[in-house]
Amino acid sequence: MTEQKAYFEGARKLSDKNFLVMPEEEANTFLDGHWYLMNPKPTYFTHSGPRDAGQPFEEEVPGYGTVYHLNSADYVLKFVDETKSILWVAHPRTKSSALFPDMYKDKDLFLSDRFNGGSSESLPVDLSHNGCVRYGALVGITR
């Protein structure tokens, strides 16, 4: 959470009335493939490693406020619903997201209004697979 706090503070310092830095994270846990998460305000959460037995989904932590503890796809969906966050597939149909979002197009997470599609990065950056992004990542999936 120390890193998240520094990230939020850095975004705040770099933002002004003409330029807004919005923190996002490529969390890559509990959902298949790679995915990004963006919160509408600084929101603390843990998402790596097993949770301690009895650790609640959310708790108040001095110095941080409400901290969410994610440990499953269901908790990711609950988290984005409660915090009004959004998520999307990172580099869809490429790399570790090669089968996504296609493979979860019928799941609650994909069907949620919190799921916002996919991002198109220039992968691979050496252009060795010219059609990878030109065709694969730009093909849309309708609900």
Residue 17 covered by a domain: yes
pLDDT of the residue at 127: 52
Is-contact 44 61, C-beta < 8 A?
A: yes
Q: Give the position of tokens 């708790």.
A: 59
Element containing residue 2 per DSSP (H, E): helix 2-14
pLDDT of the residue at 139: 41
Residue 143 covered by a domain: no
CA distance 43 to 39: 7
Specify the pTM: 0.77
Domain containing 81: what range? Answer: 2-137
**Average pLDDT per run of 10 along the chain, which is 143 residues long?**
92 95 85 86 85 85 94 90 91 74 81 82 56 46 49
Total count of domains within the chain: 1
